[in-house]
Copies of this chain bind each other. A is one copy, B any other.
Amino acid sequence: MQNASSVLFDTIAFVGVGLIGGSMARDIRAAGLARHLVGYARRAETREAIEQLGLVDHVVSSLAEAVEQADLVVLCVPVGSMGQVAQDIAEHLKPGAVITDVGSVKRQVLRDLRAHLKPENPIIGGHPLAGTEHSGPSAALIGLFKHRWCVLTPEADTSIVALDKVRQLWEALGSHVEVMDAEHHDKVLAITSHLPHLIAYCIVHTATGLEAQTQEEVIKFSASGFRDFTRIAASDPVMWRDIFLNNKDAVLEMLQRFSEDLTALQRSIRYGEGENLQQVFTETRAVRRSIQDAGQAGTFDAREPEAMPLSLLAPYASD
């Protein structure tokens, strides 16, 4: 099925084949960007699901076996596990095999990977800004990365060739690629992603502390704003634990700024400073307009034909 001219890597290994890895594998295959896809999963149950969904050509239970033939290794594990995986695969990689990842934190991940991998293996940090609150192989979607940003954070001495091949891969999946410094990535994502998730987790947590009767009504009347937060707060707990622990400095900095602003709003409510509230709420409305102007206002919608769950697309899922 592959078009020889579009092949970017002979063999690609996925360490972790869940929402992100599985979605990548599916699209890479459909576009013929690799000749052979290998998938590693730690748990037997997950390996079975990957097999059944036909996400890769070979599913293996050994990290060494997964990566030994790979020209590109895509690490799709929680950011806190990257160092351990790097240690386990370092000796089994082909010389020149390129390592990339899909973690939401980049500075600590680059450090953890480089601490174990050989200099002959280039590391291109990667972060596709796409996803849903679901996880695991069955959450894999076709077209998940289309029209989404993917941030790449190479090391200072990364070869242009290696960077370019990873960039081509993401562009072939339909992503807009932005190359930036890992530290800057972590700062921007701390405010656009990490803090919003922490706050969503927190407000849902606060609601669970209310008395039982009120809690029932919180569920019942959740459509009035709370529901949007519960969707975010349903994201993978281990993945997010690791993100906060591995982007600690930037998250704490943004959290501190947020808390100061929230305290100021709280004070305005207490002392009835309506003008101040109205001014803040008017400014924030303008931010929404900027996002709309930038064409970023859409909401991820699993019903779009190009982003349907694999389970709804049987003819594609089995080819």
Contacts and interface: CB of A to CB of B under 8 A. Distances in A.
Nearest to A280: B205
B278 A241 contact: yes
Given A193-B226, A228-B196, A282-B237, A287 B251 contact: no
Given A129-B221, A291-B222, A202 B278 contact: no
A311 interface: no
A199 B278 CA distance: 15
A238 B278 contact: yes
Nearest to A188: B217
Given A202-B258, A238-B278, A232 B225 contact: yes
A204 interface: yes
A269 to B, nearest CB: 5
B226 A191 contact: yes
A262 interface: yes
Given A223-B296, A238-B278, A261 B209 contact: yes
Contact of A274 (B200, B219, B241, B272): B241
Given A188-B221, A240-B281, 11 more contacts: A191-B207, A204-B288, A208-B283, A219-B287, A227-B291, A231-B299, A235-B285, A241-B277, A244-B269, A245-B272, A259-B262
21 contacts: A129-B223, A178-B220, A191-B207, A192-B217, A192-B222, A194-B225, A195-B203, A196-B228, A199-B199, A202-B261, A202-B265, A204-B284, A205-B261, A205-B284, A206-B258, A230-B284, A231-B288, A237-B282, A241-B281, A252-B269, A255-B262
